[in-house]
Structure 1
Amino acid sequence: MMGDKEIYRQKAEAKLDEWKAELDKLKAQASHKSADVKQDVNHQIAALEAKLEEQKTKIAEIKEASGEAWDTLKDGMESAFDSMKSAFSDAKNKFKK
């Protein structure tokens, strides 16, 4: 039977894959925008890519964490996920221009 930590890690990896797919869509959409919008969006895309890399590292740390470290890491992941949702929302809004 899988523990909570492993289930959480799998869910986090699935969310990461979802965000990677969304990021690929944004990149494709950016190529059809004006130079000004493209520059702004590409900046946001770069920031999102950096956040995704951060999340990958944190997910890897989950495997090694135990006890209090796991609880702290989980809280940090929740906060980071909220930040990612907000960043994707902002990027998508740029495309509506």
Structure 2
Amino acid sequence: MKNPVAYQNKDIISKVFGESIRNKSFRAYGMDIPEIVEILPTNLPAVEANEMRLDNLFRLKDGTIVIVDYESTYSYADKIKYLNYVARTTKGMD
């Protein structure tokens, strides 16, 4: 009997590939960005039980979605909040 191919074969190859390109760049792919200096963990565990409410959510005539949120101050944490709004809105549009 032949050795079966692991169901997660693409994930395994991606991890091996990631480890092999440390201190290299993506220039071979036409991307002129700095070299990779660190391979970061790819597991993104999340257990959340919170309700996020944004100020306004609109669908435009062309079908695009616009998120409007008003802030009296602006911080780095707001950027994370906005990314979560985009992710949850996109997920909810399935």
TM over 0.5: no
Which has the greater radius of gyration?
2
TM-score by length of 2: 0.25
Larger strand share, 1 or 2? 2
TM-score by length of 1: 0.24
* Bigger RCO of structures 1 and 2 (CA < 8 A, at least 6 apart): 1
